Structure 1
Amino acid sequence: MPFAPEKPARLTRRRALAGGAAALGAPLVTVFAPVSTGAEDQLAIRSDILNVEAMQIAFDEDFSTLDVSAWGPGTRWIAHTPWSGDFGGARFANPGERSPFRIVDGNLRIEARRDPEGEWQSGLLASVDPDGNGFSQQYGYFEMRARLPEGPGVWPAFWLIGKDRSTATAEIDIFEFYGDKPDGYSSVVHVWHRDGRHYSRFHRNAVFVEARPDAFHTYGVKVDPDWIRFYFDREFVWKTETQPEHRQPLYILLNLALVDGPTRDATPDPSHMIVDYVRAYRLD
């Protein structure tokens, strides 16, 4: 994931994901690369065009209802990362009396707000439980349609994690949006090795110059054995080569986090992320 605008006071998501030596403070070696702008042949260009109609839906969450528990098993979603690595400046709350999740007008509303004790809480959904039960898929197109909150401190995201984390964690951040930078969002591909090495490819998508983050947009990624391609409103944005660690089943996470720092004092209370649907398609 890209570096947060402020130094966090607790475990960041990248430290929690890296585990092993990285979590103990070993240096991370990060490689950032610009998006290729060289000429591409017509076959490559056709491959970048998204044809959802030619795919079959493997996972379809329209949020007419919400099937979620704190940790599972047996629910479509759980309310924490499966490895218990919550992050950011707001506690990810369980469903229940103080649930951050509501179904409003057929959409999922994730709310970040201060609880009666004055602490920030918000929500995260993951499609597998700590035992790996739930939805994951090797290769395919993953998409979410959502409206994003604006304002200092808000940090919504839609991302994928590889199920096998024994030697490295494969991560694809389809989008990360910082509310104090409303002109666009970031997309990142990571491999967090347990020996402390860190592979990363990053792109800043300045798409909100004319569009608005608080309007509905689709955010998607297509993963195949060779390429990871990113899309905004189903239009191709950029791509990077698929790493060996990403050639495995990937599961879905979405959340409204807060940056852990002074900007929380200026974060609108409450703030909302509205999700219309989350879908995954098979490439066959």
Structure 2
Amino acid sequence: MSWLFVLFFAFSACDNDDDLLTDRNWQLTWSDDFDGPAGQLPDASNWVLETGRGPNGDGWGNAELQYYTDRPENVSLDGNGNLAITARRESYAGAPYTSARLKTQGRFEQAYGRFEARIKMPWGPGIWPAFWMLGASIETEPWPQCGEIDIMEYRGQEPNIIHGSVHGPGYSGGSPITKSYALPDGRFDTDFHVFALEWGEGFLNFYVDDVVYQQIREEEVGNIIYRESSTGDSRAEWVFDQPFFMLLNVAVGGNYVGFPAQETTFPQTMLVDYVRVYREAN
């Protein structure tokens, strides 16, 4: 097993207006508004429900505690136009919690454009919701070579803060390129908010409610020098030039958030009003 050490990186502030896409002419390419009767599973033509504790049974590589199921108790429409992903404290298949994880892999994948979801968070230490993306090449190029874009990650113990991150060769695991955004007023678990990524050739912009808080550029990623024990110094790679698929999940516990605390009540539900994807119109 090789080890990785990041030696240097530097990123500019969010001041590159040339790469802001918000005012572009967007064309909707994919959407799910989660309309339907309460208790119905999400549209199988849009989403794949992943089950289990990860390919190696190790909590999805993060020591997560939940078992993902495809039961309506963990993932279903709520009858009010939302998808409900619910984490529960219950013994199931050897795990102490259950929850759900959905992906569009094999259903919808796209490079470049605007990817957004309107979400209301759960709350509680040890609760870990996310709206994120993985490179469609993951079957032939394992993580992190395939790339990962975390449009929104949230620690349940920090109800007014979300994080946006990217992972790739030279900036992965515990050393991603990341930035947090704090709500100026209120909490993410008391109302819906729109989390978005605008992605163009050579750049990624992260938004909360149309406020850009992070811009990542290909040339800046190229400044990262990292060291692997097997190969020595290497330069980080930009891998965000291929189609990606989307994921939604609520994890419980794990390296990122720690164990649920005594004050964390269950069930905990993330509500998703919609997910929409756009491409810039010609």
TM-score, length basis structure 2 = 0.76
Q: Is the 8 A contact 1:34 1:202 kept in 2?
A: no
Alignment of structure 1 residues 127-138 onto 2, 5 Å: 127-128=104-105, 133-138=106-111
* Alignment of 1:269 onto 2:245: no
Q: Distance in 2 between matches of 1:152 and 1:134?
A: 33
Corresponding position: 1:60 with 2:37: no
Identity %: 28
Cα distance in structure 1, aligned partners of 2:277 and 2:129: 19
* Counterpart residue type for residue 47 of structure 1: D
Quote the residue 2:5 is aligned against. Answer: 29
Greater share of residues in helix: 1
Q: Give 1:67 shift.
A: 5.8
Structure 1 gap ranges (5+) = 1-24
| Equivalent residue number for residue 100 of structure 1 | 75
Secondary structure class of the residue paired with 2:50: coil
Q: RMSD between aligned alpha carbons?
A: 2.9
Q: Is residue 186 from structure 1 mapped to residue 163 from structure 2 by the alignment?
A: yes
After TM superposition, give the deviation of residue 150 of structure 1 in Å.
Answer: 1.3
Q: Is 1:213 the equivalent of 2:183?
A: no
Q: Do the aligned residues in 1 keep the contact of 2:91 with 2:97 (CA within 8 Å)?
A: no
> Taking structure 1 as reference, are residues 180 and 199 closer, same or farther at Cα in structure 2, changes over 3 Å only?
closer
Are residue 256 (structure 1) and residue 250 (structure 2) matched?
A: yes
Which residue identity does 2:277 align to in structure 1?
A
Shift of 1:264: 5.3
Residue in 2 that maps onto 1:9: none
Amino acid at match of 1:210: D
Give the 4+ runs in structure 1 shifted more than 6 A: 196-199
Change (3 A) 1:95 1:164: same
TM normalised by structure 1 equals 0.75
> What is the CA deviation profile of residues 91-138 of structure 1, one whole-angstrom value per residue up to 9, with x for unaligned ones?
111135x4433323111111111236582101111001xxxx210001
Q: Whole-Å Cα distance in 1 between the matches of residues 81 and 202 of structure 2? A: 37
Secondary structure (helix, strand or coil) at the match of 1:164 reads: helix
Residue aligned with 2:155, SS: coil
Report how many aligned residue pairs link the two structures.
Answer: 243
1:237: Cα distance to partner?
1.4
For the Cα contact (< 8 Å) 2:198–2:205, is it kept in 1? yes
Q: Which has the higher strand share?
A: 2
C-alpha distance 111-49 of structure 1, shift in aligned 2 (>3 A): same
| Unmatched tracts of structure 2, length 5 or more | 219-236
